[in-house]
Structure formats: structure tokens, C-alpha cells
Amino acid sequence: MKAARDRAPPRRGASLLWFQGLLCGALIAVSISTALLLAALLLPGLAAVLLDREPGRPVARTVLLFGVAASAAPFTRYWESAHTIDAALGIIGDPMALGIAWLAAGFGWALTEFAPVAARLVLEAADRRRIVQLKAERTAYEEEWGLPPQEPAGD
């Protein structure tokens, strides 16, 4: 039994997860109002981190990136104020600040879901256009060289 456990590959990310937990604990210990504000603004990103199981977590990374970008202005407003729980709750209670941060995170999620579909549609349209162009060139060569028209296999 011990030999099987020794041959098992080491768990990746365990140290990173431990370090992230340590940083979150330190943030809560040092400034609970900052932690509260960040948790409220980045709630969709935190949910995406918990739900995204793909390698590299592409959805979670995009949602967090868009959420952090939209949270910069409210967080700057908090940082320039008194750093109190009242200031954090005031920003959390502002529907524009919270709404913009969550809307940006939702846009990041939509981008990761719909960008591959849009890319596939664009590439398929380019393929169809190229097929039409190649068929026209083939027809022109057949007429120029006096060959009988021949349909390629698969049409």
C-alpha cells in the first residue's frame, strides 16, 4: 500500500492554495473592511473559481480579470477614504459600483462562452468563401485547357 502511495504523482497547486489561504487570512486579520469590499466586488469571480474545473481555469481567470478591472474605481474610492467598514459598506451599497463590477464579470463570462462559437462561425465562413473561390478557379482552368467539367468527390 505504501509503494502505491509513493508512486502517486504529487498534487499540483496544493502549495499555491495554501499560500492563497494564508494571504486571505492575513488580509482579513489586517483589514476586514478591505476584505469585505473585495469579496463583495469580486463575488462572481470567486464563484467562478469554485465552479470552473477546466485545466487552467479559463472562465474563472477571465471573470476575475474583468471583475478586478471594473472594481478598480470603487476600490480606489475606498482607499482614498477613511478605510472603515462604513466606507466599505457605503461602496457596497452603491448599486452603480457593485452593478458595474458584477456586469463586467458577467461580460467576461459571456466572452469566454461565446468567443469560441463566434471564432468557429468566422472560420467556417472563410472556408466556404475559399471553397467557392477554388471552384471558380477550377472551372476557369477547365474552360481554358478544354477539359470536361468534373465534380470533385465529396460534393
CA neighbor of 101 nearest in space, from 89, 112, 88, 92: 92
Q: Average of pLDDT values for 100-112?
A: 97
In the chain, the amino acid numbered 3 is A
CA neighbor of 70 nearest in space, from 32, 13, 109: 109
Query: With contact defined as beta carbons under 8 Å apart, do 68 and 88 qualify?
Result: no
In the chain, the amino acid numbered 79 is W
Q: Average of pLDDT values for 95-114?
A: 96
pLDDT at 17: 79
How far apart CA 25 and CA 15 sit, in angstroms, is: 15
pTM of the predicted protein model: 0.72
Q: What percent of the chain has pLDDT over 70?
A: 88
CA-based diameter of the chain, in Å? 86
Tell me the per-residue pLDDT of 17-72, one tens digit each, with 9 for 90 and over: 788 888 888 888 888 999 999 999 999 999 999 999 999 899 999 999 999 999 99
Q: Where are the alpha helices (DSSP H) in the chain?
A: 2-7, 14-30, 32-41, 43-51, 58-79, 85-92, 95-145
